A = this chain, B = another copy of it.
Amino acid sequence: MLIVMDKKATAEQIAKVVQTIEARGFTARPIPGGDRVSIGILNNEGPVDPAHFLGLAGVKEAIPVTRPYKLVSREVQPQDTVIRVGKVFIGQGHLTLMAGPCAIESEAQALTIAEKVKLAGGHIFRGGAFKPRTSPYTFQGLGLEGLKILAKVRKTYDLPVVTEVMDNETFDQVEQYADIVQIGTRNMQNFSLLKRAGQSQRPIMLKRGMAATLDEWLMAAEYIMAGGNPNVILCERGVRTFVRHSRNTLDLSVVPVVLKESHLPIIIDPSHAAGVRDQVIPLSRAAIAVGAHGLIVEVHHEPDNALSDGAQSLYPAQFARLCDYAQRVHALIREQEEEK
């Protein structure tokens, strides 16, 4: 942290800041500049809260210098985290394709779609049993029954499954049935849920909050890792901006930054970013081209009758085409990376 003083800060004010820093156990290092003094804070472990200093007399700004995260950081762990789920790998050079309906609606629906996903080349089946819905009056998911259908999908088609957990009460249940447990965008800073996820044996797919900064997202992952669970998959699904031509704005620039700052795998959800089917295939190709480790997309055999999010679900034939596209773009990118 660097404390920048006002041009007119007095010697007393500077001394008070130094003293406040040292009272908190850090080292203060004043840096006289051309027209104002700055004070560096050294020997801090973990982040320093700028709020401690911003209110002191003569202080103009408090600028964080180091990143607040540790365990998720590539500075701490240089090699990529690769997560294994059955025969499927996530991270590093692998391309992992997850697909399925927004919500599990019935056994027949899930099995029908899962067969298509499997045939198309999908690696992991997705489907919501507990659904976070904006309105209390819309379909909230099948709950436990949905989880049991997922188990049947896994067994029938040898597909690992990923599904969302919404609270600590149902965490045990979800954990029992899911191969990967998803924490949704609205719960990215549900710290109680993150702590519980830290004690899970399952890999956690952590979706980015709708307006989360990179630091907040990585700190949410840090909660899970600090709790003892090293298997975190980051998932970008679009952020909220002024833009109205897509439901959210897919932030693909976050991918190279995550790859640089962290060792965790990152996958992209183009379906929730787009909100409409037309954008899903182009955005998927872009996601692979920018360097993401995989995709999670919505697929439905009868999207017009889906209980939720039909408009953004691909038809199975589109998903098959997407798998083919994605593999070829990925192979090209891998080849290019190796040439470097």
Contacts and interface: CB of A to CB of B under 8 A. Distances in A.
Interface of A: 2, 4, 7-8, 20, 23, 27, 29, 31, 33-36, 38, 40, 42-44, 46-47, 49-56, 61, 63, 65-66, 68, 75, 132-138, 166-169, 186-193, 195, 209-211, 213-216, 219, 222-223, 226-227, 239-246, 249-257, 260, 273-279, 282-283, 285-291, 303-306, 308-313, 321, 324-325, 328-329, 332-333, 336, 339-340
Contacts of A215: 134
B55 A303 contact: yes
B285 A287 contact: no
Tally of this chain's copies = 4
A256 B278 contact: yes
A276 B222 CA distance: 26
Contact of A166 (B36, B192, B285): B192
A54 B313 CA distance: 11
B288 A289 contact: yes
Contacts of A66: 4, 35-36
A44 B308 CA distance: 16
Contact of A40 (B33, B136, B168, B193): B33
A311 B54 contact: yes
A169 B196 CA distance: 12
A137 B55 contact: no
B252 A243 contact: no
A267 to B, nearest CB: 15
A322 to B, nearest CB: 10
A290 B29 CA distance: 38
A313 B239 CA distance: 27
13 contacts: A46-B138, A52-B306, A63-B63, A68-B135, A134-B219, A186-B188, A213-B243, A213-B245, A240-B242, A249-B249, A250-B252, A282-B289, A282-B291
Nearest to A222: B136
Given A63-B2, A243-B239, A257-B245, A31 B31 contact: yes
A2 B38 contact: yes
Interface centre among A43, A195, A256, A260 (most CB of B within 10 A): A256
A311 B249 contact: no
Given A55-B277, A211-B242, A336-B325, A135 B34 contact: no
Given A135-B46, A282-B291, A308-B49, A55 B276 contact: yes
Contacts of A63: 2, 63, 65
A49 B40 CA distance: 22
Given A253-B273, A311-B53, A332-B329, A132 B279 contact: no
Contact of A214 (B244, B303, B304): B244
